[in-house]
Amino acid sequence: MSPSSYNSKSDFVEAFSLKIEELGHPRIYGQILGWLLICDPPHQSFPNLMENLDISKASVSNVTRMLLERGLIEKVRIKGERQIYFKLKEGSVIDFMQKQLRLALDLEEITSKGLEFLSKEKDTDSKRLEKANDFHRFLAEQSENLIKKYKADHDL
């Protein structure tokens, strides 16, 4: 179905950032992450990012701050250089997905508290919520296990 690849780094960055944007992040958020996955060298300065992604200085400042706060990138200082460089943090790809998987845990909690309330009411049908809760607990536990296993198998 998709045997074709991209024709430029920009194509990759665009596809990648569009997907990240679907999750509710700013477009530039995914652009920077995507670029840092393939750029050469792996660390990039303000001007590097501005030019290659065609974004403003303010955007670099704002979005790198977000990414730093979330622990997805880190600053790199180079001896004798004034500029700041940014690079992907080790394990950022895993961390990013792990955050997505928290959804199951959050919904487990919410449905669990909902069940607790329903149990105090009379004449309620809690079957639907019980099923939902059960499934979310399963998924939260098992996906957590998956990540653990992956990390263990890859010395992280």
Q: Pull the structure tokens for residue 90.
A: 């080790």
Q: Indicate the SS3 state at residue 74.
A: strand
Residue 54 contact among its own copies, DNA, none, beta carbon within 5 to 8 Å by kind:
DNA
Residue 9 contact among DNA, its own copies, none, beta carbon within 5 to 8 Å by kind:
its own copies
Sign of CA pseudo-dihedral 98, 104, 110, 113:
negative
76 is a site residue for DNA (CB under 7 A): no
118 is a site residue for its own copies (CB under 8 A): yes
16 is a site residue for DNA (CB under 7 A): no
Q: How far is it, in rounded angstroms, from Cα 92 to Cα 142? A: 21
Nearest-approach distance from CB 92 to its own copies, in angstroms: 9
Sign of CA pseudo-dihedral 45, 42, 71, 52:
positive
Strand partners, 75: 86
* Segment near its own copies (CB under 8 A); pick from 44-52, 58-66, 72-80, 118-126: 118-126
Nearest-approach distance from CB 50 to DNA, in angstroms: 9
Q: Considering only residues 3-62, where is the footprint of its own copies by CB under 8 A?
A: 4-9, 11-12, 15-16, 19, 22-24, 36-38, 40-42
Q: How far is it, in rounded angstroms, from Cα 122 to Cα 61? A: 55
CA atoms within 13 Å, Cβ hemisphere of 26:
12
Q: Interface mask (CB under 7 A) for DNA, residues 38-57, using x and -?
A: -------xxx------xxxx
